[in-house]
Amino acid sequence: MTLVSACHQNDASTETSRVAGGDPERGRLLTQQYQCAACHFIPNVQGANGDAGPSLEHMGRLSYIAGGIPNQPENMIRFLQNPPAVKPGTLMPALGISDEEARHMAAYMYTLR
Ligand code: HEC
């Protein structure tokens, strides 16, 4: 993957650039559509704020995803698309998310600090 764009100073939202091609606002809406909040508390996403999964309110500054996967954009994208493939036995199901959708949702996850 290509990691960094050359320009660091053209916008204030460094989170945006953490996921190449990811749009946090689209990610927020997708997170709502996929009803991720049925199992998670997620800031600014409507839903049941369920507690089957951990709160995602600080997901952007955690070191690990699901306790052991380094919290980096490509890992986040893979995890969101197919959690059991990344962490066998995890209770988070695969929800049929496309690569592009996962990219946007990952971008949103990194705004949660
Ligand atoms: C059926 C309940 C359920 C749904 C629906 C669900 N998750 Fe999860 N999610 C979990 C569980 C349980 C975990 C904990 C996984 C583990 O540690 O093995 C988890 C973990 C995560 C993590 C890592 C959290 C951490 O603290 O490391 C992220 C990020 C995440 N989910 C995002 C999402 C997104 C985005 C969606 C919607 C596309 C979603 N989840 C839908 C149950 C769910």
Beta-carbon count within 10 A of 15 CB: 17
Q: Under 8 Å CB-to-CB from 44, ≥6 apart: which residues? A: 28
Q: The pTM is what?
A: 0.89
Question: What are 98-113's pLDDT values in tens digits?
Answer: 999 999 999 999 999 9
d(CA 96, CA 92): 12
| Residue whose CA lies nearest to ligand 1 atom number 37 | 36
Around ligand 1, the residues with Cβ closer than 6 Å are 31, 34, 36, 38-40, 52-54, 56, 59, 62, 65-67, 80, 87, 90-93, 95, 97, 105, 109
Question: Which residues in the chain belong to E strands, given as ranges?
Answer: 64-65, 69-70
d(CA 73, CA 45): 20
pLDDT of residue 18: 83
* Domain range list for the chain: 21-109
Question: Please, which pLDDT band fits residue 90 given cuts at 50, 70 and 90?
Answer: very high
Mutational test site, ligand 1, from 30, 40, 86, 110, max ligand atoms within 8 Å of CB? 40
Domain 21-109: homologous superfamily in CATH: Cytochrome c-like domain (1.10.760.10)
Residue bearing the bigger pLDDT, 58 or 4: 58
Question: What are 22-67's pLDDT values in tens digits?
Answer: 999 999 999 999 999 999 999 999 998 999 999 999 999 999 999 9
Three-state DSSP state, 96? coil
CA of 60 to the centre of ligand 1 (A): 14
Q: Is the pLDDT of residue 4 over 70?
A: no
In Å, what is the CA distance from 9 to each residue of 1, 6, 14, 19, 57?
A: 22, 9, 9, 16, 26
